[in-house]
Amino acid sequence: MFSDDIISRVRDSVDIVDLISGYVSLKKAGKNHTGLCPFHSEKTPSFSVNPDKQIFHCFGCGAGGDVFKFIELQEGLNFPEAVRVLASRAGIPLPANSRSRSPDKKSEDERKDLIAIVADAAEYFRNELKGPAGSTARAYLKKRGVTDAMVQDFALGYVKPEWDGILRHLKQKGYAFNQMEKAGLIVKRNEGEGYYDRFRGRIIFPIRDISGNVIAFGGRVMDDSLPKYLNSSETPLYSKSNTLYCLDMAKEHGRKQGYFVIVEGYLDAIACHQYGVRNAVATLGTALTEGHLRLMRRFADKLVLIFDPDPAGVKASLRGFDLFMTSGMKVNVVSLPDGDDPDTFLQKHGHDAFAAHLRNSVKFMDFVLEQVVKRGSYTSIDDKVHRAEEMLGFITKIPSGIERDHYLKKTAEALDLDETVLRREIPSRPWRSASAPGGGRESAPVLVRGHRPKAEEILIHLMLKDEGIARSLKQQIRPQDFTDPLFQRAAQRIFEALNAGENFDTRALLRNDDEDLNNLILHYSVLETDYDDPQKHCRDCVDVIKQKDPEKKMKHLLKAIDEAAANEDWVEYRRLLAEQNMLGKRPDRKLGKRVPGA
């Protein structure tokens, strides 16, 4: 499909930290950058990116690879598609005669055409707001407290109450009716022929994608007519379940502050930005979805919901429980007083008062407890039973056992129940842990050491960290000297790469024919462990593996056993004891010192 030279050029032209930072909020940690894995749900970061080796690896689900593999997994692409995406990003031209290019080229051209149409429509709406016809709309925005700076920043517009204003404008620019319809700007008449404008007599709010391209519009009336808000229909550019209003403007603020503020409407989001809450975004006429959370998880791992305290708002918030529990994101809730929404509250009380409410936001599970258990009084035992059952339904879905225990106790206290009785009412099914959204990977360690020899593990790790050590060890040890089959294959692949005279690049060691070996290579390439004297570790481990000095091997094991006990790593402690016992049974070694307490 593509030559090795093209693939290498594309891979070397895309920095993996820059690429992944567009999807995941990364923090520098030693030589690596870490964050929440985008491929499975987790609350503690296990996803690492190594800029030196240009690879990523998740210690939780095992996903890993280079820039191509990341884009394949993140965007659901095959390898050729990933090459094309990254080549476009890097500005590298690809051969035009690739047979698989045509369908994607057609789709890409269509997207470019639609973006151009929508951009022309946005300019038309902006000009209408600035012109004589927009005087009423300008007055309305001023009355609502929207400043001229916000009108400009959010590129607000206006459309006259005409049936064919945008249609005629775009037709003059040479666009076809089917293109305007596909962009969501005009609607086909139910009876007869022809089309009419979707938006008429409304203030226009351009909706942008995460890159800042206008992809759709929202329109608001200035009187009491219905519908108050009207959004673009779903198009090849726009999906309301995968788009958040002003995320393009809020993403970097969300990354820096570590969280996003979620509001419900255009004017609420604009007010937040106007008063300095620049990490605010809004949904577009729909509840939060997995697509929304996936977008925000690229930049931050926490959300603060500004919820509507009326019964409908409470129900809507509770409906998001399952989604929040499986998202791996921290979710807090704020209820503003006096029935205010963010727009009205900020205009009355200003930024500092709003910021105080954000600081005092409560955990989502505490909000659930407040709404389910603590509302009103209990008029009957049936009411108490009903609320206990409802609360248990939420508690059983919490992934963390510690949190489950905490909220069982709080529920028992709130309902004045014996905690033991409440625990007996827990459904017989096992605890429902958070699963990976969208059928993604489960959070389960892929690389299980079991009884793998420690000395062999250290040598593989050191060789993947340091090419000089790998070349030195190639002269001292053979792959068959390793007893663990996977470590044998790893040593074989490392030595083959060195014999071939290739650059010692971790990415070149990854092949499609051995997924277990790829996971091992990625695991130890990214794993950060400091060795006081790497050369001495190598010598000792080689001696252990080649059985040159059985007493030294026993001494090495005893030291490792002591370290495991000191660190309270009992899994490793038991593994090392088993290895010690196996060594003690060999006829070629002298008796070594017994491990205290063994």
pLDDT band at 597 (very low <50, low <70, confident <90, very high): very low
Report whether pLDDT(545) > 90: no
Number of domains composing the chain:
4
| 480 within a domain of the structure (yes/no) | yes
Taking residues 524-550, what's their average pLDDT?
82
Q: What is residue 428's DSSP assignment?
A: S
| 271 within a domain of the structure (yes/no) | no
| 19 within a domain of the structure (yes/no) | yes
What pLDDT is recorded for position 434? Answer: 41
| 63 within a domain of the structure (yes/no) | yes
Report whether pLDDT(585) > 80: no
| 266 within a domain of the structure (yes/no) | no
pLDDT band at 156 (very low <50, low <70, confident <90, very high): very high
Give one DSSP letter per residue of 107-169, joined into a string: HHHHHHHHHHHHHHHHHHHHHHHHSGGGHHHHHHHHHTT--HHHHHHTT-EEE-S-SSHHHHH
Q: Output the average pLDDT for the chain.
A: 85
Whether 414 and 536 map to the same domain: the answer is no
The dihedral over CA atoms of 467, 471, 476, 479, expressed in degrees to the nearest 10, equals 80
**Long-range Cβ contact pairs of 532-538 (< 8 A, separation 24 or more):** 534/462, 534/465, 534/466, 534/469, 535/469, 537/458, 537/462, 538/459, 538/462, 538/469, 538/472, 538/473
- For 186-195, 413-422, 444-453, 504-513, which range has the lowest pLDDT when averaged over its residues? 444-453
Helix (H) or strand (E) holding 353: helix 342-359
What's the CATH code of the domain at 129? 3.90.980.10
| 215 within a domain of the structure (yes/no) | yes
What pLDDT is recorded for position 587? Answer: 45
Rounded to whole angstroms, the Cα distance separating 433 from 442 reads: 10
What pLDDT is recorded for position 106? Answer: 63
What range does the domain containing 390 cover?
373-439
| 69 within a domain of the structure (yes/no) | yes
pLDDT tens per residue across span 370-380 = 888 866 566 67
* Better-scored residue on pLDDT, 453 or 389: 389
Taking residues 381-401, what's their average pLDDT?
87
| 152 within a domain of the structure (yes/no) | yes
Whether 71 and 119 map to the same domain: the answer is no
Whether 547 and 485 map to the same domain: the answer is yes
* Better-scored residue on pLDDT, 258 or 139: 139
pLDDT band at 386 (very low <50, low <70, confident <90, very high): confident
Task: State whether the Cα torsion 334-340-341-346 is positive or negative.
Answer: negative
The distance from CA 46 to its chain's CA centroid, rounded to whole angstroms, is: 12
What's the CATH code of the domain at 60? 3.90.580.10
pLDDT band at 57 (very low <50, low <70, confident <90, very high): very high
pLDDT band at 103 (very low <50, low <70, confident <90, very high): low
Rounded to whole angstroms, the Cα distance separating 418 from 412 reads: 6
Rounded to whole angstroms, the Cα distance separating 559 from 561 reads: 5
What pLDDT is recorded for position 110? Answer: 83
Domain end residue (candidates: 40, 56, 90): 90
Whether 68 and 122 map to the same domain: the answer is no
Taking residues 494-513, what's their average pLDDT?
81
Whether 138 and 223 map to the same domain: the answer is yes
What pLDDT is recorded for position 567? Answer: 80
Taking residues 255-269, what's their average pLDDT?
93
What pLDDT is recorded for position 443? Answer: 37
pLDDT tens per residue across span 392-412 = 989 988 888 889 999 999 999
* Better-scored residue on pLDDT, 90 or 460: 460
Taking residues 434-459, what's their average pLDDT?
55
Domain end residue (candidates: 238, 258, 279): 238
Whether 29 and 133 map to the same domain: the answer is no
Whether 414 and 466 map to the same domain: the answer is no
In the sheet that holds 32-35, the strands lie side by side as: 27-29, 32-35, 47-50, 55-58, 64-65
Whether 117 and 212 map to the same domain: the answer is yes
Whether 460 and 483 map to the same domain: the answer is yes
> Mean pLDDT: which of 2-16, 252-266, 345-359, 499-513 is highest?
345-359
% of the chain exceeding 70 in pLDDT: 87
Report whether pLDDT(141) > 90: yes
> Mean pLDDT: which of 54-58, 254-258, 273-277, 462-466 is highest?
273-277
* Better-scored residue on pLDDT, 236 or 159: 159
pLDDT band at 1 (very low <50, low <70, confident <90, very high): low
Whether 217 and 184 map to the same domain: the answer is yes
What's the CATH code of the domain at 513? 1.10.860.10
Whether 54 and 146 map to the same domain: the answer is no
Report whether pLDDT(215) > 70: yes
Report whether pLDDT(512) > 60: yes
pLDDT tens per residue across span 274-311 = 999 999 999 998 889 888 988 888 778 899 999 776 66
Residue 560 has which token pair? Answer: 């490792």
Whether 488 and 538 map to the same domain: the answer is yes
Taking residues 306-332, what's their average pLDDT?
80
Rounded to whole angstroms, the Cα distance separating 307 from 309 reads: 6
Domain end residue (candidates: 27, 55, 90): 90
